[in-house]
Structure 1
């Protein structure tokens, strides 16, 4: 009998009159005359035994633990640590946008996100026809006169001298074409036929051991025309294939044809992003997404090669998102005139700063600012775009150089772009402010009438010194004026100011470092420009460190000013742990995205949430790398891609655990360590704390969130006592654990992945934080 039911049975039994009690051992034949007395005697004796048992069992039943839970959280008589949580006492609020992601176009991430499988479809790569092979024709790339669009000057001219000549696309080297049986793929291409008349066949096929595996085709009758015509049709894959897949364009006549903006877009996508990528981002539950960089937004002086948000949505040289009108023909031959705004064929390409090899790396504006904003909305995150500050990359471009700007006006062009992107994202097309109305209407024309959610705007990236801060101050002044003139649009936008590129650039009570951005904010205040340091913006802290340095510095923000004129908010815009030498020089075998790196990040994140009134936002970086390390510019990444799937690293699962369980306020908690417990973990010759925690409340559900990280190798027994609230008898536990600190996840096996279960709890309960583990205990309250 379950304990709860037995308790009820005992209670009901002893409510009955004694004479009605069941005579368990009564035999009327033997005790005919004294039977009733014997019955009473036996019942009284049995009642005494049962009463004692009842007392003990009722004591255990009345502590509130749910007996149906997967496990029971029995209180330890001699715990290593006791946390007494005052559920009705909040120390401070936690930012509601604390944990998000940084989606940087590095490691060819932009190509992998894009639902278009064709590489170099606009023939804009340095080598012109790179990723295309040709048979029975000669393809040359031309620019300028006769181009499809002013923003897209390159196109291919084909001299077709054989029947059934072909132009074949191989897809991207790092993410080759892959198709799935039954999925639809939309083929499209702009063709200027001239005098050519004949068929154009788009054929998906895959190399097999004997010949070609036919995956699907769509055919068009191309008619002579001096105008660009868009041919579009659907191919439904007949088989699944992820190796040797190509798109073959076959021409059924000889002659001359011009072609541009070839695409093959999978229907297995959301908002222009492949679903296996999109779903992994969505599953994290990020509060915000920072995009698109990183160094990519800084670029190099040569050619002003930085990320241009207006290019990414198709803005022309007159600073307008003009309509693009053309004839579209489908596979049935039906045609119609179509007008679009900002489609990928109208987006001017820029070379990515991470192009450091013979492989072309264009900024993939098929996933541009519009698609990034839509992605944010789709996954329930706010948008945090980052723009150029008028200065090239100080790390990769010789200390940084002033840039000419989009229209040759230098810094003013960059300030205008910053003001304009806010109007694009949040503006009202009916505004009396003509600039707001213009850019808001551009968003509406692209298909999104409602504004996007955006509260912050990054200005520059890993930059510092007078070169940067003298420019950044002009942004501060411009936005101050804009807020005064148009508070409805700009009033809630906070700028994010660069703070260098290293941990040593941050304010640090231990080392005495003042912080680069903080020092400049103080100078700006001394000049009488601001009264509070917070008016200078949110400070963008970046650090990539050894895991020991993360474990040793979880208290970095404990000493930061909480209020008053010296308070400022922090955005930990980029961070991740590695196994390179730490700040103290401790060597360790380099294993990218190992369990210990994720474990140390979890420990550090307890410090970020504990200081969630100072740290407003935080994002692991970078997000994507290729499984084939030869294609990566950055080794440690949250996820690693192939053309069909992802490796979700231990670091991914740590981020997911914290994003899904961020509290709204930190609760007052008293800590008591037993006299024989030593809270120490040793790595090499370095000692760091073993146990880390943060305890907070979810305002929406009332749940108490206990996060525990045990970086040591030994289990730690913890008692948790909840005061000031009644528990509902159950908690939901999510945990990550692995004994091997060098363990990594792969395509074939996950050494580290979440385990979830329910825990029956009383107001005081016990939990064993296993060695090398991360745990979230979500306590349900009444």
Structure 2
């Protein structure tokens, strides 16, 4: 055999050394250092902001877009968004002289010309389509008012109004007909059950009138609606497939009504709880902070029922005097807004016998209070606020709220310790959007925080870009359209730091949660969707792996290298004596670990759940299941080895006591 050349000898020695270097020994303690809070992993929601149509057209079950012509300018083309005429009719959104309600001043005016035969009306395209499935019951409803006279007498049959679902090719899939009546606003409700499933979601909701008198006809329509079956059958509830996807994660909490969407572009356009409760006909909606209308059909009461249906704890925010245009309300001018915040909280937890907002809640069918522990004061007060303004508003708001609700904890949203706030916050909400590498190297972010009774909520975090110098740039500048394997593995490294510091980090939520693939102003999102599909990202699977396997106490172990690419945490379920080891490897090569356990009774085999793939790989609408977790077996024992694949997140579980 020929001797190796000098170059090959060097390469062989380097390979041997490299192999030795990637073996890491992890010694685990038998004694827990702290409990893992049940609230550690949850969800943050931004209602129709940041991620376009995450509420309306997304989580909220309503299938019709622009259903009530809220906050639009009458007699404009934009006011007819999503609506088109059918037949030779004419449609216009008008300021109705006799509106359905003061909250909904506009209606759609249908004009059918004289001497018309056939069907005339209008159609709604939904939110980039309507998913229609055979055998599924869809609840349709509308209000109409005949604005012109209808001939009566012998031989004069009233015109017929037909509500229908129609395929893109014009095939009627389901319908319901009634005779038109005169005399003010009339409500029509029907259950439409299609007998066939069309080939695509490019379907229409149609309203047509036939049997029109010779002189023509004018009919006004308001508050049109189409609902599919909702999550857990909740009236005015959530889209079932999206809700069921989120329920897979078993989130511990839900932060609402969102970050920026709480604030408003001005104080007058802030999110206002009273405008989001009561009958849908009494909700005016608002122009959201990203330029389009929020119906507020998903309102305060719906949020609270949703939390119960999902078995989540509500984290609710109140407006704190700061709007996105930079305006701060301070001093005596802030008092009415503090009163509004108190009323909002009273609606949630107050006694109907002593509180008007709580009595309103009871009148809407919910006498008993909801569970509430955490209230967030504003959103991201570390952006655009003068420090003195932040401090004065915090003092004024929290002093008042804590006097009224001493049992609640109030979260600050300014930078921790800057400015100094009085009273001292019990909790801070921290947000960070960064690169995969940043999240990996900052796994120790919370390790140096003081243990002084203060706790922390990582309310928004996500790896959104590969470009550290332009995090919020465009896709051609490194911004991710979808979460990547490298980003998700980096987030997992950061999340092991949550567990290691769960004595002070009590909650964390990836953000944003949802994004419609046809219209999203923010990328990436945890879950994507269109009219008929839900797309689970690689980061969704990481959140699910951590949430379902968090354990209830943390076991200290050998610490990872602060600047390394390999991170881990060890937790335990005390009731089952099951050990949970989570490992993030963001390196392009596998990493070998040897675990040394202090237990004598260790199962010889464990389960490993593994998410791995190319660093830039993503789940997309074109390849929705490109990267999914796999489940296998791994040999375990008092001492065992595990090779973490390159670009991977591993969760190993086994019995040990």
Residue in structure 1 matching 2:54, options 101, 109, 112: 109
Residue in structure 2 matching 1:178, options 123, 127, 131: 131
Residue in structure 1 matching 2:516, options 626, 636, 642: 626
Q: Name the CA distance, whole Å, in 2 between partners of 1:413 and 1:215.
A: 52
Alignment match, 1:260: 222
Q: Name the CA distance, whole Å, in 1 between partners of 2:146 and 2:231.
A: 31
Q: CA deviation at 1:269?
A: 4.2
Asked if 1 retains the 8 angstrom alpha-carbon contact of 2:69 and 2:79, the reply is yes
SS of residue in 1 equivalent to 2:289: coil
User: How does the TM-score come out when normalised to structure 2?
Assistant: 0.85
Cα gap change, 1:309/1:171 in structure 2, threshold over 3 Å: closer, same or farther? farther
Cα gap change, 1:170/1:193 in structure 2, threshold over 3 Å: closer, same or farther? closer
Q: CA deviation at 1:637?
A: 1.1
SS of residue in 2 equivalent to 1:669: coil
Alignment match, 2:341: 418
Q: CA deviation at 1:710?
A: 1.1
Q: CA deviation at 1:417?
A: 2.7
Kindly report which structure 2 residues correspond to 1:79-118, keeping only aligned pairs within 5 A, or say none. 80-87=23-30, 89-105=31-47, 106=49, 107-110=52-55, 111-118=57-64
Q: Name the CA distance, whole Å, in 1 between partners of 2:500 and 2:410.
A: 24
Alignment match, 1:309: 273
Alignment match, 1:556: 445
Asked if 2 retains the 8 angstrom alpha-carbon contact of 1:164 and 1:250, the reply is no
Structure 1 gap ranges (5+): 1-75, 314-341, 356-360, 484-489, 500-515, 525-529, 674-678, 681-687
- 2:619 pairs with 1:666: no
Kindly report which structure 2 residues correspond to 1:452-531, keeping only aligned pairs within 5 A, or say none. 452-463=370-381, 464=385, 465-483=387-405, 490-491=406-407, 493-499=408-414, 516-521=415-420, 524=422, 530=423
Alignment match, 2:186: 229
Kindly report which structure 2 residues correspond to 1:356-505, keeping only aligned pairs within 5 A, or say none. 361-393=292-324, 397=325, 399-402=326-329, 410-430=333-353, 434-435=354-355, 438-463=356-381, 464=385, 465-483=387-405, 490-491=406-407, 493-499=408-414
Residue in structure 2 matching 1:191, options 125, 132, 144: 144
Deviations 1:445-489 (A, max 9, x none): 333344333221112112242333322221111122113xxxxxx
SS of residue in 2 equivalent to 1:475: helix
| Larger Rg, first or second structure (1 or 2) | 1
Deviations 1:705-738 (A, max 9, x none): 2111111122222222332563344433211111
- 2:455 pairs with 1:569: yes
Q: Name the CA distance, whole Å, in 2 between partners of 1:544 and 1:625.
A: 17
Q: CA deviation at 1:164?
A: 4.3
Alignment match, 2:636: 761
Structure 2 gap ranges (5+): 1-18, 151-157
SS of residue in 1 equivalent to 2:372: coil
Alignment match, 1:345: 281
Q: Name the CA distance, whole Å, in 2 between partners of 1:451 and 1:238.
A: 43
Residue in structure 1 matching 2:537, options 634, 649, 673: 649
User: How does the TM-score come out when normalised to structure 1?
Assistant: 0.72
Residue in structure 1 matching 2:104, options 137, 152, 162: 152
Alignment match, 1:219: 177
Alignment match, 2:8: none
Alignment match, 2:492: 602
Deviations 1:672-692 (A, max 9, x none): x9xxxxx69xxxxxxx41210
Alignment match, 1:507: none
Kindly report which structure 2 residues correspond to 1:37-52, keeping only aligned pairs within 5 A, or say none. none
Deviations 1:229-279 (A, max 9, x none): 211011111222334311111113343323210011112544311111111
Q: CA deviation at 1:611?
A: 0.7
Alignment match, 1:130: 81
Q: Name the CA distance, whole Å, in 2 between partners of 1:90 and 1:576.
A: 29
Cα gap change, 1:609/1:748 in structure 2, threshold over 3 Å: closer, same or farther? same
